[in-house]
């Protein structure tokens, strides 16, 4: 059985073209620089998952900042897992409350497996950048 791997891209929004292409808008390459903490912002996640099979069609995508409770938890159902292809999940405009300068981490939770980290985004408060 192939191990499940995933990567997440954090961005401001995800749009769909008529031809099926997805457009990622405002991609965060390294870190997010909020003007203040705490702050609530919409965040979008584009997640590509490798190694799924038809027995793994349900999971929870969870966003945490090191706290006990997740910031966001989204139940995801996949209709059909394509043979030998990656599955792409787009989760647009999720309300994210940044509560601390801890990195935010996206994990995928499949029943019977340990959490699979898909991505991490550093939080750099504006006052730490020296850009006011």
Number of structural domains the chain divides into: 1
- pLDDT in the model for residue 81: 78
Is it the case that residue 27 has pLDDT exceeding 90? yes
**What is the domain extent for residue 113?**
5-129
- pLDDT in the model for residue 129: 57
The rounded Cα 88 to chain-centroid distance in angstroms is 11
For residues 66 and 40, the answer to whether their CB atoms sit within 8 Å is no
Residue range 11-32: average pLDDT? 95
Question: Mind listing the pLDDT tens digit for each residue in 39-50?
Answer: 999 999 999 999
- pLDDT in the model for residue 128: 60
For residues 90 and 46, the answer to whether their CB atoms sit within 8 Å is yes
CATH number for 50:
2.60.40
Which residues is 116 bridged to in the sheet?
A: 108
């Amino acid at each position: 059985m192939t191990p499940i791997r995933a990567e997440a891209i954090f961005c401001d929004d995800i749009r769909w073209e008529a031809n099926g292409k997805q457009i990622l808008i405002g991609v965060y390459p390294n870190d997010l620089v909020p003007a203040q903490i705490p702050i609530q912002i919409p965040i979008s996640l584009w997640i590509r998952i490798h190694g799924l099979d038809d027995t793994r069609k349900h999971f929870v995508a969870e966003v945490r900042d090191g706290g006990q409770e997740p910031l966001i938890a989204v139940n995801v159902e996949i209709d059909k897992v394509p043979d030998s292809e990656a599955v792409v999940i787009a989760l647009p405009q999720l309300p994210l409350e940044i509560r601390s300068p801890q990195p935010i981490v996206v994990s995928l939770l499949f029943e019977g497996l340990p959490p699979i980290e898909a991505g991490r985004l550093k939080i750099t408060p504006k006052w730490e950048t020296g850009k006011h």
